[in-house]
Amino acid sequence: MAILPITKLGHPILRRPAQPVDLMTINTKKFHALMTDMIDTMYAARGVGIAAPQVGVDLQLAIINHSDTPFSIINPRILHRSFRSATSEEGCLSLPGVFGSVRRPVSVTVSYIDHNGTERTVEESGLVARVFQHEIDHLNGLLFIHRMKVPPKDLGVP
Ligand SMILES: [Zn+2]
């Protein structure tokens, strides 16, 4: 178990698409240790989610903390986005102290591989749908500031 250093805005890993996880590696000790470390790191930083690039790992893996029950999403794909959208304030562990209003679809259907290697498809709405979208953005090299109508100027958004 370890608390990993979190990559911050300006680190190139945050701005490029992450590599798909090879399904053969999911049941390895190393991969399970990474998932455990990411959960510990997320809790230590009081986040509601964390993506592998945020701990310097170039893989399509993220943790989502739903009702204090964290779970892994691996190689996720958004299959459907609701037409209805809503604006809400977001922050990010990679941009400490930065918050901004982001408009996103209210609900999404997502397919992903879970921590056991089982494929799942879920439809989520509300806060958890927002966390799914925020973390999947990370796996595509996007940060919430790139979704803002008017990104904060002083960040020099790369
Ligand atoms: Zn984030």
Domain boundaries, the chain: 12-155
pLDDT exceeds 80 at position 156: no
* CATH architecture label of 12-155: Alpha-Beta Complex (3.90)
CA–CA dist 28, 106 (Å, integer) = 35
**How many angstroms is it from 59 CA to the middle of ligand 1?**
15
Neighbours of 24 (CB within 10 A): 9
Confidence tier at 92 by pLDDT (50, 70, 90): very high
Ligand 1 centroid, distance to 58 Cα (angstroms): 15
Active-site residue set: 135
Query: pTM for the full model?
Result: 0.95
Q: Please answer whether residues 107 and 122 qualify as being in contact, where contact means their C-beta atoms are separated by less than 8 angstroms.
A: no
Give residue 138 CA to ligand 1 midpoint distance, Å.
7
Residue 70 in contact with residue 63, Cβ under 8 Å?
yes
The 3-state DSSP class for residue 133 equals helix
Write out pLDDT tens, residues 36-58.
999 999 999 999 999 999 999 99
Note whether 123 and 108 are within 8 A (CB): yes
